[in-house]
Structure formats: structure tokens, C-alpha cells
């Protein structure tokens, strides 16, 4: 389980794994694109890390329920169903974002 983050600014991606504890990962500098140094908003980064760790725990619980309670095995993942479309029509898109309509 990991986050795959796509940077539309440079067109490249990177992965973030839920290693260590949540607070340590939040303090790391993965909130910047390792390819072009574009920055993710700090609050948004924290939300992403919490969701990553929460999803990891949910999948561990689902696997445990399968083994211990013989429930069907489920796994949860999050997949972006849209990329770089503006959900808010009056969003102020900053200059320098080449691929946002």
C-alpha cells in the first residue's frame, strides 16, 4: 500500500510508503515533487499521510477479519478518477500550471 502522486507541473510521479509513524512522515520533505520541487500544500500533505496510514490500518483489519473470523477478504485502495480538472468553477488557478484548463 502506497500513495502514488502525480505532478502535473513536470508530468512525473513518485510514491510515498507508510513507513514509520504518521508524524515522522509528515515532517519529511516528500511534500515536494522530487523531480521539479513543486510543493504540495502542507495541510493537504498532512491529510494525505493520515489517509494513507488509516487505509493501511483498514486493510490490516480486513485481512485480520478474514483470517480470524473467516469473513470474505476485502482490500481498499484509492484511485483518482479525475486528474487536473477543476471541481470549483471559480477556482483561482495560479499562473505556471501548464496543464490545467
Residues that bind Zn ion (CB under 5 A): 7, 9-10, 33, 35-36, 38
CB of 75 to Zn ion, least distance (A): 29
Least CB distance from residue 100 to Zn ion, whole Å?
14
SS3 16: strand
Q: Which residues contact 39 (CB under 8 A, 6 or more apart)?
A: 31, 32, 33
Cα–Cα distance for residue pair 42/22, rounded to 1 Å:
14
CB 87 → Zn ion: shortest distance, Å?
A: 21
Sign for the CA dihedral angle at 56, 49, 23, 33 comes to positive
Nearest to Zn ion of 12, 54 (CB atom): 12
Give the nearer residue to Zn ion in terms of CB position, either 87 or 98: 98
- Residue number with CB closer to Zn ion (38 or 63): 38
Amino acid at each position: 500500500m502506497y500513495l502514488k502522486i502525480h505532478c502535473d507541473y513536470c508530468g512525473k510521479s513518485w510514491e510515498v510508503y507508510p513507513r514509520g509513524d504518521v508524524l515522522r512522515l509528515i515532517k519529511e520533505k516528500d511534500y515536494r515533487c522530487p523531480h521539479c520541487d513543486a510543493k504540495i500544500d502542507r495541510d493537504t500533505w498532512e491529510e494525505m499521510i493520515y489517509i494513507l496510514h488509516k487505509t493501511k490500518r483498514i486493510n490490516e483489519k480486513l485481512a485480520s477479519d478474514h483470517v480470524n473470523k473467516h469473513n470474505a477478504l476485502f482490500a481498499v485502495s484509492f484511485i483518482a478518477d479525475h486528474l487536473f480538472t477543476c471541481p470549483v468553477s471559480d477556482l483561482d488557478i495560479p499562473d505556471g500550471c501548464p496543464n490545467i484548463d
